[in-house]
Every structure is written in structure tokens, then in C-alpha cells.
Structure 1
Amino acid sequence: MGAIAGFLLPALTIYVAFTAYPVVRTLFNSLHQVRPGRADVYVGLGNYAGLWTDEFFWQAVHNTLVWACTAPFLEQALAMLLALALYARIPGARFFRIVWFAPVLMSFVVVGIIWMWIFNYDWGVVNTLLRA
């Protein structure tokens, strides 16, 4: 039982620190008037009631809905155009393939070189630590 707790404790600590606590704190803040340097004042659902009359809130809702409804279609259209440019038999298609895939391939090369340096027999960090 102690081993199970030992394995779960780090994961639960990270979960509480980065997920559960921020959610609870956000709920707490939403029910209070939070002012820097002063005590928090409990206002209940007053903050939420104020949203119904706030024009900036409704503008934000409108902008979010417009973005959420149009962005997926624009992304799909651009993705299709890019796919056609990469795989069509048109002049310059090879150039588009090189420009698009070079960063992807280069990242694997760079990661491979870094790992090679880390595990280098003569001066690599890991082998130096293993020999100590």
C-alpha cells in the first residue's frame, strides 16, 4: 500500500497544484470582489448578474461565436489548398514540399544530434555521470 501511495503522490500533487486548486480558486474569485491589497468581499452571484448588462461581455461572446463558427472552415480550406500545393503536379510543387517539410525533418536531426552529444562516450553528460 505504501508503494502505491508513493507512486500516486507526485501525480496527485501535480494534479492538485495545476488543475484542482486553480479551478477552486477561480470559483472562489468569481463569488468575491477581489481587489489587490484589500480583503476580498463576498458578493455571491453579483458578478454573474453584472455580466447580463455589460456590453463588453456581449461583444466578447459575439466575437467568440464568430471566431468559433468561421475558423474551422477557414482552417479546412487553407489545409486543402496547402495539400493541393504540396501534392499537385504543378510548377513549384517541389519547392512547397521542401519549404513545408524541411522544418519537420530538421527538428529530428537536431534532436538526434543533441542526444548524441548527451551520450557521447568522451564528454557526454550522461556518461560522465555514470563514470563518477
Structure 2
Amino acid sequence: MKTKDKIMIFFLTIITFGTIWIYWNSKKKNNKKNELSRSEKISFDINDLILFLGDINNIQNVENTHKKVKIYIKDSNLVKTEEIQKLKGISSTLVSSEYVNIIVGNVAEFLKEELSRKMEK
């Protein structure tokens, strides 16, 4: 066997094992769940949040994204922004005349469900 043939076999072997290695690593990465994480552990009392929003009757509607809860309110003058910001687990708040945005992380969906449940009562 010529040296040229030996070199060709060597490179083809490396390419084959490299392709197999890349395939295995891509399979490992793709096995991760393609779902967003969700938590049901709110680190503050939801009743305190309702109180700082001006009572449950001041809430019209609640929407959420993955990390943010948007609470539509009737009267923004009743909202205690500083008190809401002090609650453990709330990263940021934004108050407008129509709604309050609260960034809470991956508990946003659960918080929205709990607020909606309390509004129905």
C-alpha cells in the first residue's frame, strides 16, 4: 500500500469519526425540552400585591408573558408603586394610567392565574 493511500484512509477515518461525534453531540443538545420553565412558588403574599394595587375591585383584567404580568386597573391613583417594588421577587414595575406591568420572572403565568381566580370570587 502506498503512502498516499495510507494518508487518504487516515483522513477519511478522521472525517467519519468526526461526523459521528458531531451527530451524537447534536442529539444530546436536542434532547432538552423546548418548553419555557414555569414556577408556582411566589415569593410574596399575593394578598399584599392586591392590597397595593388598590383592592381586587380596582383590577379589570390580567395578562401575562413569560416573565411579565400586565394588570389593567380602573384607578391608577390607588396603586402603591413603591410598596409593590419592595415585595420580594418583583424585579421591576411600570405604572401607567391604564395598567401596571410587573416583572416577576417565571412565576408570571401562575401569578396571572391566581389573580384571575381571585377576581372571579
Normalised by the length of structure 1, the TM-score is 0.23
Normalised by the length of structure 2, the TM-score is 0.24
More helix as a share of residues: 1
* Structure of higher RCO (CA pairs closer than 8 Å, 6+ residues apart): 2
More strand as a share of residues: 2
